[in-house]
Structure 1
């Protein structure tokens, strides 16, 4: 058997020829130049405290992190009452902790996951809404900041995932009426921008629904958010189902398993395994899309950041505010992507 030639190392790839060497050296110098200027602006010459106010930032050539020191409460908590910020912070921690616990294999059962998230959302609602246990009542219109962003994201994914499974199974129905109707519905919703769905849920529905069925605007927006997530995730799950060899379903039929037994024990576990990479990508995209709820009047973390530099004395420091918010988004998105990569390694997705 012929021996495979050794793969070229990194040095031979980047410096194997004069042209490659010139390009590599130029890129390294450019990266070093950008890194040095970012370090000089963001760390060495930056203003870190708000003791001198905006005047200290004007006198410096570096970043004005003083605005974060002065306005971090507004960025993280939005319009939530100042004296009750501890409730909003604790509620956000509860949702994040619930998400972390649900990632542990010990909770990977339907009943345990359902119990965990029901308890997590109940605690979140009690802390944020109040009106019981001696907590002051805070209406949903005053919720904001990071806690609202995390709540909308978690609610949209948790509500949308079962809907996505149902849509994927309906689209694969052997009855043409059901499969084609479901396919038309999925394609129709996917053709709409998320902003239009959120606007319809927040503004249009109150005019067409009876007074007793309107509900709070926040929950209508979450329903629209979940629907948008569900139609995309349904196609991802359907792709995972189509990756399963047909013989497995036929063998399960031969063993006498019912449709729901085949779905629960054979089809869905393998479908989620095959569809894991695009599912993680869709979840990450969904988290970033929560910033669109500002269109319908919610003060999530992006809108809170806009308000933080929107006053006359801090209008020049918008770059620092956006950098701070970007770091928060990066922390959540990077954690989600690394957990997805861990699941791929454990389940050996894409390997023979």
Structure 2
């Protein structure tokens, strides 16, 4: 005779809360105190951010200094162009806006599975980056020329991030493959380069490429400081991403590579069609995390004199009229970072579920 074990019914929500938070008198007191603190904090933030906040910039900065006034969001309404576009000429800021939308379009297209091919995805990134650069730089198609010295704000942050990933990711794959080479002098030399870059802080690399490198190069190879900084950032990104890719390659069963060699499949076909697709799937969580870190690390370029979004935020409240409103400016910038980073991390979680990364 078969005995069927019946699962006990799940406790009700009230019973579950009682068990979790009010099991004993002391636990009930602590739970009520924590709830009171949470309600107080939430109400204080809500009152400051919305209920008593000042939104109308026409009232001027003095309206934010009246007793009982909350957040001074009028500084954002009055100075948002500086935060988003930096020193870019006012009449040409539509180009910066289109450039930002181009980055969003690149990201959206990269998230569509139909573009996940070896030809389409690089084409999207190369074409999108070229359009982004054309809109900012100008000089052709009737667009006035705007030098890199006037680029700033969010658009400069996005340009550095996109360029770093576009250059650093293929370089990371190359470094990972070179470190797995069967020739000791290639693998060891690549390992020294990767470990040497990873042992240095990003600020020191940016400072070296921006300030020190021109003293060691001939005048014809110096180039613009912005592109030297992007190369330094891409090198730093590639060193970390190369180890992530190499870890993904190590997760591919050795027998698959041996079987493909026995079938006479060439090295590049083995890498591009068998090894790398599985390696990138294995390395997906760490890769998404590296993209998130890279986006946030773009703020470090302010150290070498670039007018990115944080520096633009400093300029937005750096006048005598709005000097007191720095909290609101930084909250607005933090919200921008949050939107980009949270969207990227949520998409990474979606990919993990779609590909069943880590499933047993």
Normalized against structure 2, the TM-score is what?
0.93
Q: Using the TM superposition, give the Cα deviation of residue 310 of structure 1 relative to its aligned residue in structure 2, in angstroms.
A: 0.9
Query: Aligned residue for 1:235?
Result: 243
Say if 2:184 is the partner of 1:182: no
Structure 2 CA distance, aligned partners of 1:126 and 1:344?
35
Query: Aligned residue for 2:38?
Result: 31
Say if 2:93 is the partner of 1:85: yes
Superposition map of 1:1-352 within 5 A: 11=17, 12-59=19-66, 60-352=68-360
Asked whether the 8 Å contact 2:54–2:69 carries over to 1, the reply is no
Asked whether the 8 Å contact 2:129–2:162 carries over to 1, the reply is no
Structure 1 CA distance, aligned partners of 2:132 and 2:49?
36
5+ residue gaps in structure 1?
none
Q: Using the TM superposition, give the Cα deviation of residue 22 of structure 1 relative to its aligned residue in structure 2, in angstroms.
A: 3.8
Q: Using the TM superposition, give the Cα deviation of residue 25 of structure 1 relative to its aligned residue in structure 2, in angstroms.
A: 3.0
Structure 2 CA distance, aligned partners of 1:67 and 1:28?
34
Structure 2 CA distance, aligned partners of 1:18 and 1:50?
52
224-233 or 251-260: bigger deviation: 251-260
Shift in CA distance, 21/278, structure 1 to aligned 2, threshold 3 Å: farther
Structure 2 CA distance, aligned partners of 1:2 and 1:179?
60
Asked whether the 8 Å contact 2:86–2:309 carries over to 1, the reply is yes
- The two structures, once aligned, show a CA RMSD in angstroms of 1.9
Normalized against structure 1, the TM-score is what?
0.95
Matched residues, number: 352
Structure 2 CA distance, aligned partners of 1:225 and 1:268?
24
Where do 4+ consecutive residues of structure 1 move more than 6 Å? 1-9
5+ residue gaps in structure 2?
none
Structure of larger gyration radius: 2
Structure 2 CA distance, aligned partners of 1:138 and 1:14?
61
Asked whether the 8 Å contact 2:153–2:312 carries over to 1, the reply is yes
